[in-house]
Amino acid sequence: MHLDLLVDPFDAAWPQVRDLAMAAEVRGWDGIWTWDHLSGVVHGQDHVLESWTLLSAMAAVTDRVALGPLVLNQANRDAGVVAQMAATLQEVSGGRLLLGLGAGTSPTGSYAGEQFALGRQPAHDPERRAALVEYVATIRSAWAGTVGGVGGFLRPDPPPPVVVAAFGPKLAAIAGEVADGINTQAALPDLEGVVAASRATAAD
């Protein structure tokens, strides 16, 4: 069994996160994750540390623990850019990245406010699910050096595992189809159904 920590980036200061990451490594934790948000207001706080910058900084002060976002909102960053960000962090961290990805919030979701504030229009569920499939495909194409017919993109070796967040069967099925793992919650009322939906589409 692996035991990981989730770093809360809301109203946190870098020295606090740095010390936590270093202590987690010394004390034998297996991984460190952090949330991807751009406004502290969505959790009633004054600010939030940006997840990818935070992960990169933690990679520089640790040597062993796995690192990952739980999870990157596909609406915040272009897929091709994320592919290069991930490939770079995989190299910088010595292969410790777990790339958590999510479909993002709906227009009525609790996190929609930070999207609207930045001029982004959250999509409805079917559009977000379809966009996530394309998003993962673009990332994998970039890692394979086949995206857009243009060479020169950084190709991670090995490619970091992709973990898709899913709290319902439709996204779980997508996770099984396009990802290497699924991020869900143990307290889900239909946890068995969500897991089964993911397994049903997973490659052998």
pLDDT tens digit string along 91-108?
Answer: 999 999 999 999 999 999
pLDDT class for 151, splitting at 50, 70, 90?
Answer: confident
- Give me the pLDDT at residue 147, please: 84
Q: Between these two residues, 187 and 33, which has the higher pLDDT value? A: 33
pTM, two decimal places = 0.95
* Average pLDDT, integer, range 107-123: 94
User: In terms of DSSP bridges, do strands 31-34 and 66-69 run parallel, antiparallel, or are they unpaired?
Assistant: parallel
56 phi and psi angles, rounded to 5 deg: -65, -40
* Average pLDDT, integer, range 170-185: 96
The distance in angstroms from the start CA to the end CA of the chain is: 22
pLDDT surpasses 80 at 139: yes
Contact call for residues 91 and 204 (beta carbons, < 8 A): no
- Dig out the tokens for 31 from the structure: 């991984």
- Give me the pLDDT at residue 204, please: 63
User: Which residues lie below 8 Å from residue 166, measured CB to CB, with a gap of 6+?
Assistant: 172, 174, 175, 182, 183, 184, 194, 198
Cα gap 68→162, rounded to integer Å: 10
- Give me the pLDDT at residue 150, please: 80
Mean pLDDT of the chain: 95
* Average pLDDT, integer, range 129-146: 96
* Average pLDDT, integer, range 142-155: 88
